[in-house]
C-alpha cells in the first residue's frame, strides 16, 4: 500500500513586505499629487492677517499671492485649487449682498488665476456664509434659513463665478434642490461646460471650527443651528440619499465632508454609486495632526500621508486638504526624513 502524505504549506504573507520594491509593486492604493486639491483663502488688503494658529500654514492671500500659490501647486502636479473668499465684517449683511458683486474678491481672484494660464482647475465655493452677517449658508427669514430664496441666490452666485472663469462651482450649503437649479442656470447662461461639485454629504460637524475662524465666518451668537440644514453625523443612509438626489439633479462630482470622520460614507458611496467623489480633509482634522506633531506625539510627515492614504482607500478620487502643497512636495521628492508641520 502506498501511503500518501499531505503536508500543509505554511503561508508567509511577509514575503510581500520584506523589501520596499516589493511593497511598492503590490500596493493596492497610493496618493499622488494629482489626487490633491489645494484650498486658497483670498482676501483684500484689510483682511490680510495670517490665518492664525487654528490653520498653520494657511495664510490669507492677496490676489497676486493667490496666483503665485496656484502656480506653486501646478508646478508640483496638483490639478485644482479651491477659492474661498475672506470678507471684511463691514462688507457683510443679512442678504449676502457681496456674493453678487462681480468686482468682489472671489471673482477677481478667480479671473486672475484663470488669466495666468496654469494647468489646473479652478473650483469656486458657492455658499453665502462668507457674506452673511449671521454666518449662515443661506438667507434667514422669519427666524429660519429659507430654502428656495437661498437657492435662487446661489444660482446667481454660481453664474457670476462661472463668468469670472471658474471651471467648477461647488455648492456647499446643503439646501434642497439647489444642484438642479444651478445646472439649469449655468446652462441658460452659456456655461454648459462648467461642472458642479456638490457637497452632497456635509455633516454638521464639530471639526469646521478652525476654518470658520480663519475665514471670519463664525455663526453669530444665539443664531440658528446649522443642524437644520447640514446632515446629522449619525446618519449614513441619509447621506447616501442626498448623494443620489444630487446625482439625479446633475452633479458631476460629489463631496463628502468631513473625510476622516466620514470614511464609512465614502466607502458606501463608492460601493453603491457610480460617480466621481472627493473627500474634504477638514480644518479640525488637519489642526489635530498639527497639534499632535507640535507636542511630539506623532511624526508629522508619516501621519499626514497615512491620513491621505486612508481617505483614498475609503473611496475618494481626490482629496481637498490644507496640506496639499506639503504632501505634493513630499510625493514629488520622496524622503523618509521627519518633517516639522507648517508654521
Contact 131, 219 (CB under 8 A): no
Told to judge if 226 belongs to the known catalytic residues of this protein, a careful annotator would answer no
The catalytic position among 92, 226, 257, 301 is 257
Is residue 262 one of the residues assigned to a domain?
yes
Q: Each residue's pLDDT tens digit in the chain (343 positions)?
A: 455 555 568 889 999 999 999 999 999 999 999 999 999 999 987 777 655 556 887 889 999 999 999 999 999 999 999 999 999 989 999 999 999 999 999 999 999 999 999 999 999 999 999 999 999 999 999 989 999 999 999 999 999 999 999 999 999 999 999 999 999 999 999 999 999 999 999 999 999 988 888 777 665 555 678 999 999 999 999 999 999 999 999 999 999 999 999 999 999 999 999 999 999 999 999 999 999 999 999 999 999 999 999 999 999 999 999 999 999 999 987 554 445 566 5
Domain that holds residue 290: 32-332
The residue ranges of DSSP E strands in 49-128, in sequence order, are 60-61, 80-86, 121-126
Domains contained in the chain, number = 1
The catalytic position among 202, 226, 301, 312 is 202
Q: The whole model's pTM is what?
A: 0.92
Give whole-number Cα distances, 97 to 45, 133, 222, 249, in Å: 20, 10, 22, 27
Told to judge if 257 belongs to the known catalytic residues of this protein, a careful annotator would answer yes
CATH number assigned to the domain comprising residue 312: 3.20.20.70
Give whole-number Cα distances, 95 to 92, 132, 208, 229, in Å: 8, 6, 23, 18
Is residue 8 one of the residues assigned to a domain?
no
Amino acid at each position: 500500500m502506498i501511503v500518501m502524505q499531505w503536508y500543509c504549506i505554511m503561508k508567509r504573507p511577509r514575503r510581500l513586505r520584506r523589501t520596499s520594491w516589493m511593497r511598492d509593486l503590490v500596493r493596492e492604493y497610493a496618493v499622488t499629487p494629482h489626487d490633491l486639491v489645494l484650498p486658497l483663502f483670498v482676501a483684500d488688503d484689510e483682511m490680510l492677517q495670517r490665518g492664525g494658529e487654528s490653520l498653520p500654514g494657511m495664510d490669507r492671500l492677496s490676489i497676486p499671492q493667490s496666483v503665485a500659490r496656484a502656480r506653486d501647486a501646478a508646478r508640483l502636479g496638483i490639478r485644482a485649487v479651491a477659492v474661498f473668499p475672506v470678507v471684511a465684517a463691514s462688507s457683510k449683511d443679512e442678504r449676502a449682498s457681496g456674493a453678487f458683486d462681480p468686482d468682489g474678491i472671489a471673482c477677481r481672484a478667480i479671473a486672475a488665476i484663470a488669466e495666468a494660464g496654469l494647468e489646473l482647475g479652478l473650483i469656486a465655493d458657492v455658499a453665502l456664509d462668507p457674506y452673511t452677517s449671521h454666518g449662515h449658508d443661506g438667507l434667514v427669514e422669519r427666524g429660519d434659513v429659507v430654502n428656495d430664496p437661498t437657492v435662487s441666490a446661489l444660482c446667481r452666485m454660481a453664474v457670476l463665478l462661472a463668468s469670472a472663469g471658474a471651471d467648477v462651482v461647488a455648492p456647499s450649503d446643503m439646501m434642497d434642490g439647489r444642484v438642479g437649479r444651478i445646472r439649469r442656470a449655468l446652462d441658460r447662461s452659456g456655461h454648459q461646460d462648467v461642472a458642479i461639485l456638490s457637497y452632497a454629504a456635509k455633516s454638521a460637524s464639530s471639526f469646521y471650527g478652525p476654518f470658520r475662524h480663519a475665514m471670519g465666518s463664525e455663526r453669530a451668537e444665539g443664531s440658528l443651528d446649522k443642524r437644520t440644514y447640514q446632515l446629522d453625523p449619525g446618519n449614513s443612509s441619509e447621506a447616501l440619499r442626498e448623494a443620489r438626489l444630487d446625482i439625479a439633479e446633475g452633479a458631476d462630482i460629489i463631496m463628502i465632508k468631513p473625510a476622516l470622520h466620514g470614511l464609512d460614507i465614502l466607502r458606501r458611496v463608492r460601493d453603491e454609486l457610480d460617480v466621481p467623489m472627493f473627500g474634504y480633509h477638514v480644518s479640525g482634522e488637519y489642526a489635530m495632526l498639527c497639534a499632535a506633531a507640535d507636542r511630539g506625539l506623532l511624526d508629522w510627515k508619516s501621519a499626514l500621508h497615512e491620513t491621505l492614504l486612508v481617505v483614498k482607500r475609503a473611496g475618494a478620487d481626490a482629496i481637498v486638504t490644507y496640506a496639499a502643497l506639503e504632501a505634493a512636495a513630499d510625493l514629488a521628492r520622496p524622503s523618509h526624513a521627519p518633517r516639522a508641520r507648517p508654521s
